[in-house]
Amino acid sequence: MRRDQLTEKILDIKRAKGWSWKHITDAIGGISPVLVVGALLGQQKLVKPLAKKAANLFGLSESEERLLNEVPYRGMPMPPTDPLIYRFYELVMVNGPAWKALIEEEFGDGIMSAIDFDMSIERQPHAKGDRVQISMSGKFLPYKYYGNEEGIQETGTKED
């Protein structure tokens, strides 16, 4: 059984039961709904206690429960053709250079981790139309200048 087949089966059960994602993530609990839904859609691993809860909820076999506990081959085809996902892609495409400039100036050479990372999505009521509020934070990981036995640093104090 491939992971995409398990995803299709889970979506079939969700549809037949008429469950919402909220119902499902409340029942499984434990971690962020973004991660639980991601796992059920085949993009994340569910740790064992949660995989067991998901298996109970959906009536999965033991093998299917274990498949949920495996790390999938993550990622989807790009560029995204779906408008909702494309808007996020566009944000990266238009703002990428400015994010790079500002993060590097504030933190130095490195990246915001996409692994040691968390996020939440919330509805922000607004008179002119509600807004999707997304908060995320990722650990800043500085580039390691290896082979640096003399302790050379950016501030250049050692040179002075």
Using CB under 8 A as the binding rule, the residues of this chain from 15 to 74 that contact a second copy are: 15-16, 18, 20-22, 29-35, 37-38, 41-45, 47-50, 52, 62-63, 66-67, 70-71, 73-74
Q: Does 100 sit near a second copy (CB under 8 A)?
A: yes
To a second copy, the closest distance from the beta carbon of 10 in angstroms equals: 12
3-state secondary structure of 143: coil
Would you call 113 a catalytic residue per the annotation? Answer: yes
Among 10, 55, 60, 153, which residue sits at the site for a second copy (rule: CB under 8 A)? 153
Among 54, 58, 59, 103, which residue sits at the site for a second copy (rule: CB under 8 A)? 103
* CA gap 43, 36 in Å, rounded: 9
DSSP string, 43-66: SSPPPHHHHHHHHHHHT--HHHHH
Would you call 150 a catalytic residue per the annotation? Answer: no
> In the window 121-140, what residues touch a second copy (CB under 8 A)?
121, 123-124, 126, 128-140
3-state secondary structure of 121: strand
Cis peptide before 79 (omega within 30 of 0): yes
How does 128-156 read in b/e, with b if 16+ C-beta sit within 10 Å?
eeeeeeeeeeeeeeeeeeeeeeeeeeeee
Would you call 87 a catalytic residue per the annotation? Answer: yes
Catalytic residue among 20, 63, 113, 120: 113
Q: Which residues are catalytic?
A: 87, 90, 113
